[in-house]
Amino acid sequence: MTRAFVFPGQGSQAVGMGQELAQSHAVAREVFQEVDEALSQNLSKLMFEGPIEELTLTENAQPALMAVSMAVVRVLEKDGNMDLAKVAKYVAGHSLGEYSALTAAGALELADAARLLKARGQAMQAAVPVGVGAMAALLGLDIGPVEEVVAEAKEKSTNDEIVVAANDNADGQVVLSGHKGAVEAAIEIATAKGAKKAMLLPVSAPFHCPLMQPAADAMAERLAEVVIAPPRVPLIANVTAGEVSDPDTIRKLLVEQVTGRVRWRESVLYMGEQGVEELVEMGSGKVLSTMVRRINRAMSGSAVGTPADIDAFLAKL
């Protein structure tokens, strides 16, 4: 079985995330402690106990999701004697999950990843005043028709407002991002074009669009200060949907990722073309693993996030 390890993005956070792992595995507790120390914050307590409103804040959700993903990977490696490079052909992550993927593959140190994601969350939140931007999910339209929707919405905009396809997640599942007025106009156009559902998302900022340029600039500065090593297996990058192992290219793509499209559908298709048969989602939730078959029916998906999941996965190896 040829596998890729994939790592979830924002939206997969939940109160209690990682708690069962911490109770059953010392190595998971060590991961959470290291992240807490790197951030000078009791993030693990927030993860275990909530409140959800505080956990969902971008600056908390991003390092928290990475921490749970890394706790799973470390338990597999240290307690399960798994060699990631022998089990996974690629790593990939959805948006912030790209940092989790790089950490799992040894390109980033855990503490550096935690600090980068904290900074990334703060910078993304600060880039656009609340209420100026918005994101919307379009269900039932593929990326081609969505590009037509975006073009029409831009034409109707009176103030050169921005709207782009920010996440190409799967066939019939695309997310828009940009100025609130332009996104709302796009929702109306998409509905008229036959979208099954077109709705604003409860997010705090318009991610993965040009409005995030101040955050991209901030991340360029932060990433320049961090050592990035060649990953033990190639990364499938969000903005190119192709593989990358060169540290300088990885650094550049992480900056571009802040304003660029998450090309997840294309990334999964590429991995399938390279012989990957199963995507294994490491961490909180099952968003990516349940989406797999909508993109490539020949590929399977599984999620590893609890001690029981870890035991079941190790038994398959």
Say whether both 70 and 151 belong to one domain: no
End position of a domain, from candidates 175, 203, 231:
203
The band of 52, judged by pLDDT with boundaries at 50, 70 and 90, is: very high
Contact between 142 and 96 (Cβ < 8 Å): no
Give pLDDT, residue 248: 98
Q: Which residue reads 């050169």 in tokens?
A: 160
Q: Tell me which residue range forms the domain holding 193.
A: 133-203
Percent of the chain with pLDDT over 90: 96
What's the pLDDT tens digit per position in 117-158? Answer: 999 999 999 999 988 999 999 999 999 999 999 999 998 877
Q: Which of 12, 95, 100, 267 is catalytic?
A: 95
Give pLDDT, residue 203: 86
Query: Has residue 185 got a pLDDT over 90?
Result: yes
C-alpha separations of 4 from 15, 32, 190, 268 in Å: 27, 24, 34, 10
Give pLDDT, residue 202: 85
Give pLDDT, residue 159: 83
End position of a domain, from candidates 178, 203, 228:
203
End position of a domain, from candidates 151, 186, 203:
203
Contact between 257 and 98 (Cβ < 8 Å): yes
Q: Which helix (DSSP H) or strand (DSSP E) does residue 215 occupy?
A: helix 213-224
- Supply the CATH number for residue 107's domain: 3.40.366.10
Say whether both 139 and 164 belong to one domain: yes
Query: Has residue 160 got a pLDDT over 90?
Result: no
Say whether both 233 and 145 belong to one domain: no
Say whether both 92 and 227 belong to one domain: yes
Say whether both 117 and 162 belong to one domain: no
Say whether both 216 and 276 belong to one domain: yes
Say whether both 55 and 154 belong to one domain: no
Q: Assess whether 179 carries a catalytic annotation.
A: no
- Supply the CATH number for residue 183's domain: 3.30.70.250
What's the pLDDT tens digit per position in 12-35? Answer: 999 999 999 999 999 999 999 999
Q: Which of 69, 94, 208, 289 is catalytic?
A: 208
Q: How would you class 124 by CB atoms within 10 Å of its CB: exposed for 0-12, middle for 13-18, buried for 19 or more? A: buried
Give pLDDT, residue 84: 98
Residues 272-276 have a mean pLDDT of 98
What's the pLDDT tens digit per position in 249-268? Answer: 999 999 999 999 999 999 99
Say whether both 310 and 219 belong to one domain: yes
Say whether both 162 and 235 belong to one domain: no
Give pLDDT, residue 156: 84
Candidate ranges 154-163, 196-205, 306-315; pick with highest mean pLDDT: 306-315
Give pLDDT, residue 130: 87
- Average pLDDT over the chain reads 96
Q: What is the tally of structural domains in the chain?
A: 2
Say whether both 167 and 255 belong to one domain: no
Give pLDDT, residue 184: 95
Query: Has residue 93 got a pLDDT over 90?
Result: yes
Strand 3-7: give its sheet, edge to edge. Answer: 243-244, 235-236, 88-93, 3-7, 278-282, 300-304
The band of 204, judged by pLDDT with boundaries at 50, 70 and 90, is: confident
Instruction: Please tell me the least confidently modeled range out of 104-118, 194-208, 212-226.
Output: 194-208
Backbone φ and ψ of 95, nearest 5°: 60, -115
Angle between the N-to-C axes of helices 247-259 and 110-127, in degrees from 0 to 180, rounded to the nearest 10: 30
Q: Assess whether 208 carries a catalytic annotation.
A: yes
